[in-house]
Structure 1
Amino acid sequence: MIKILRYTEYLYLAVAIISIYKIATLWSIDPKETYIFIFFAVVSIAMFLFRRRYRKRFEQRKKDNQQ
């Protein structure tokens, strides 16, 4: 289960990186089109941080219960 949580963290990070790349490439062409990618990047980074914190809490709780 913890491996799945770790993979979802990096999935959100990948979405953020792709969104940031699209922002960089589209900004000079049409800044209005980049707003959706800015939203995706911000939400993806926030979800990455939230999932990482949740996974670490889950691991700590599992470790405490085993002791």
Structure 2
Amino acid sequence: MKFSKIFQYAYLVFAVLFIYDSISKWTINRNGAYISLGLAALAIFMYFFRRKFAKKIEENNNSK
């Protein structure tokens, strides 16, 4: 389970990188900035989805 927790936080790292990328592209290429913001939103969604799924599996394993 520790391996999956590392990937959960990797999604947050990628979200921060995409947000930084969108800020740096904002004045040059606004369409590219929107794509980076969309990918950041997707990474944040995946973090919460994976966290909820991991908690559900952990609860299921503890109840057995």
Displacement of 1:26 after TM fit?
1.1
4+ aligned runs moved over 3 Å, structure 1? none
Displacement of 1:35 after TM fit?
2.1
Aligned AA (1:15): F
Q: Which TM-score applies when normalising by structure 1?
A: 0.85
Q: Structure 1: which 5+ runs fail to align? A: none
Matched, 1:27 2:33: no
Q: Structure 2: which 5+ runs fail to align? A: none
Aligned AA (2:22): I
Aligned AA (1:4): F
Identify the residue that residue 49 of structure 2 maps to in structure 1: 50
Paired-residue identity, %: 30
Aligned AA (1:30): N
The 2-side partners of 1:32 and 1:47 are apart by: 23
Q: Deviations over 1:6-40 (max 9, x none)?
A: 01101111111100011111112221221221121
Number of equivalenced pairs? 64
Aligned AA (1:63): N
Q: Which TM-score applies when normalising by structure 2?
A: 0.89
